[in-house]
Amino acid sequence: MYLLASIIPDNQKRIFKIFLLKKSKCLLFSFFWYNIYNKLKGE
């Protein structure tokens, strides 16, 4: 994994990091709403 990261240029790494950050934010957001939805449905 580290070797792969050293091959990829810094610019690509930055884009990849931003992509991962956005993806994780989306996952957190949907997970958060899913929990709220389940609580409302459960009542």
pLDDT digits (tens, 9 = 90+) for 1-43: 566 666 667 878 888 888 888 899 989 999 999 999 999 988 7
CA distance 9 to 27: 27
8 backbone dihedrals φ, ψ, rounded to 5°: -70, 130
Q: Which amino acid is at 29?
A: F
Task: Return all residues near 9 (Cβ < 8 A) that are at least 6 apart.
Answer: none
CA distance 11 to 14: 5
CA distance 12 to 27: 22
User: What's the pLDDT score for residue 36?
Assistant: 92
- pTM to 2 decimals? 0.46
User: What's the pLDDT score for residue 7?
Assistant: 66
